[in-house]
Structures are given as C-alpha cells and as structure tokens.
A = this chain, B = another copy of it.
Amino acid sequence: MLEAKLQEAGLLKKLLDAIKELVTDANFECNEEGINLQAMDNSHVALVSVLIQAAGFKRYRCDRPMPLGVNLGSLTKVLKCAKDDDICTLKAADEADLLNLVYEAKNSDRIAEYEMKLMDIDSDQLGIPETEYDARVTLPSNEFSRIVRDLSLLGESVRIEVSKEGVRFASEGEAANGSILLRQTEGSISGGKIVALSKDGEDDGEVKEEDDEEENEDDDEDEEGSKKKKKSKGKKEKKVKKEDGDEDEEMGDVDEDGEEEQDDESEDEEESNGKKRKKKASSSSKPAKKAKTSKSKKGDDDDDTSGVLIEMNQHVSLTFSLKYLVNFSKSGSLANKVQLMMSNDVPLLVAYEFDQGHIRYYLAPKIGDD
C-alpha cells in the first residue's frame, strides 16, 4: 500500500496546474523512491516528467511499486478542495482502484477526506536518456515565462540561440518580429559537463531503474513498454524514443558518471556551473534527499536569485513551438529558476528543480524553417 503525507497540498496543486493542460490521464508510479509521473502530451509532441522524492514527503511509505492511473482533471478538482497549506495524505491500497486524499488544516479541527477513482492507464514509462548537452541557460523562471509569453504574442515559434554573446530568443510574426537578448549576469560564459541536475543528484532515477532491467534487451523503444507495460509501440512511445534511442543505457551510465563528473566540474570551473557538484553524495541510484533538499536546492537553482547563468560548450541554435514553452513556463510557480538545456538537433530539456523533486519537459526542436 501507499501512504504519502505531504507537508503542503500546494505542491501537488501547483504540479497539477502545470501539467493538466498537457496531459489528461497519467500513471503516478509509486515506489520506494517516491512518486513519478511521465507522459507525452496529448499530441505526443512533448514529454513531461515529474518526480516527488520519497524524502520530499513528511512521511512516505510504499510497500511495493504501484501505478496509480489518474485522470488529471479529476485530481485537479479534488485538489481544489485543499488549501495550499493543508497537510495532504495520499493513500491507496494495493490493487485498489481508489485513491484516498486526506487534507488536514494545520491548526484546526478540519479534516477533509476525498476518494478518487483510479483508472487503468496504458503507461509508457519511457526511458529518458540522460544526455549531455551543449548548452545550459539557467534563468529566473519568471523571466522565462515573460519571454515566451511576450514572444508568443508575435509568432508561433522561437529560435533560441546560445553564443558567447549570451542567449537570444527571437521570434518572427506577421505583424512584428521580436528578439530578446540575455547576457550572462556576471562572469564569463562557462562550459563544463552539462547534464540535467537535480538537487540531490538522483533525478530520473525512478524511471531509470526499471528501465535498466528491461532495457537490457536492447530495444531502445521497448524500454518504455517493457517496464511496465509491454505495450505496443504506439506512437506515443516513439517520440520519446528518438532521444532514448541510445539512452537507455545512458541512463544508467549517466547517474554514475554524472556524479563523478560533477565533482570534477566543481573543480574546473568557477563554481558557477556548480550546481551539480552537490549531488555526488547521493550516488546510489536512489534518491538521496532529505537532509539537503532544502539547502541543496538553494544551492543549485537558487544560488543566484535573479541572475542568468549560461554554460556553453558549443554554439546552439534551435527553434521551438512557443505554445509548448508557454505551457511549460507555468511551472514557474514551483521554482525560482529554470534550466534550459540544449544541443543542436536534440530535444530541449526545460527543468524546474524544487525541494521535493522536479518537473522536466522535453520538446523536440522544429526542423527547417517551420
């Protein structure tokens, strides 16, 4: 059975707000690491991956891995019945088709209890390879929101270009063209190894593990299917795949390598890139969180509250659909900072890291001129 007590219902509410427009139904994969959700958006163009680490809960117990098939619209409604600062407990029995939600006001006698029907969802737990990127831009999440919102008024897509000059967001529209240039706040643009970092260093662990086992097979694609489903390779999976392709394995490698590398990095650069370093400690594929979560986060993403950090090993120039980026930017309420990770011709990773976990979006670039 699952019993997970979250200090603030607000976290769940924000997460749902962030993804409910993108995805209608999804499996909340619960296991010892925590709760993970992975899904392609309804049109299979983007992929969203959410993690709430076990340590992010006030209390967490999950005897065995269980997928909870949730209609996000329903869950959103149920969550609207909670106040942001209510203590929220999720409970589900093994094999149950109900999710129990209990809201306790911190300082009151009020206890609200809801039970929501679960559904069986064909979950393609995709293997998201942890790639190394050519560039990462770390900026205040509200700045990112503003940029994509502004440019979305003008055109459909934005070209994001990272160069020594800084990062430029440019969009062309019928009535007007726009271009916004952000320069590195201070210091020079740095390189170093660029991989997605979570504060604890565990990031997509949940997904990974499963993948590892099944992935072995070598289908790139299977992984997704394999782990939980064995589903068909319906379209959904494919997109993801592109990237995954190799990635399954990469995932595994990543963790370990990643950590090591991180250490290395710290030494090299000014710590600016620095956020990564911290994680090493938590190398076991499991999430190490707890103690440092709050700190680590600060350390990582929030080190500089308002600055722009640009790390670049190679010039990148990619074009994306603004509609999706605007959607992703809703997650700004979850973290002060957002990381944009890019390599030419591979999907953009938009990552928001918060104390209890993260939400990451992957979006394939537009090709050609469209």
Residues of A within 8 A of B (CB): 71, 73-74, 77-78, 80-81, 109-117, 143, 150-151, 153-154, 166, 174-185, 308
Contacts and interface: CB of A to CB of B under 8 A. Distances in A.
Contacts of A113: 178-181
Contacts of A166: 109
Given A81-B154, A112-B181, A116-B175, 15 more contacts: A71-B175, A73-B175, A77-B154, A78-B176, A81-B153, A109-B166, A109-B181, A109-B184, A110-B180, A112-B178, A113-B179, A113-B180, A114-B176, A114-B177, A115-B176
B180 A77 contact: no
Contact of A154 (B78, B143, B175, B308): B78
A166 B176 CA distance: 49
A142 to B, nearest CB: 12
A239 to B, nearest CB: 27
The 9 closest A-B pairs by CB, nearest first: A74-B175, A81-B150, A116-B176, A109-B183, A112-B180, A114-B178, A77-B153, A113-B179, A78-B176
B78 A109 contact: no
Please report whether the interface of chain A is mostly helix, strand, loop or mixed according to DSSP: mixed
B178 A81 contact: yes
30 contacts: A74-B175, A77-B154, A77-B176, A78-B154, A78-B175, A78-B178, A80-B153, A81-B150, A81-B153, A81-B154, A81-B178, A109-B181, A109-B182, A109-B183, A109-B185, A109-B308, A110-B180, A110-B181, A110-B182, A112-B178, A113-B178, A113-B179, A113-B180, A113-B181, A114-B177, A114-B179, A115-B178, A116-B176, A117-B174, A117-B176
Contacts of A114: 154, 176-179
Contacts of A111: 180-181
Contacts of A175: 71, 73-74, 77-78, 116-117
Contacts of A151: 81
Contact of A150 (B73, B112, B153, B180): B112
Contacts of A116: 175-176
Contacts of A73: 175
Contacts of A143: 110
A173 to B, nearest CB: 8
Nearest to A153: B77
A113 B177 CA distance: 8
A151 B114 CA distance: 10
Nearest to A147: B112
Contacts of A77: 153-154, 175-176
A181 B179 CA distance: 52
A114 B179 CA distance: 6
Nearest to A184: B109
Contacts of A308: 109
Contacts of A178: 78, 81, 112-115
A278 to B, nearest CB: 27
Nearest to A102: B179
A118 to B, nearest CB: 10
A209 to B, nearest CB: 35
A202 to B, nearest CB: 32
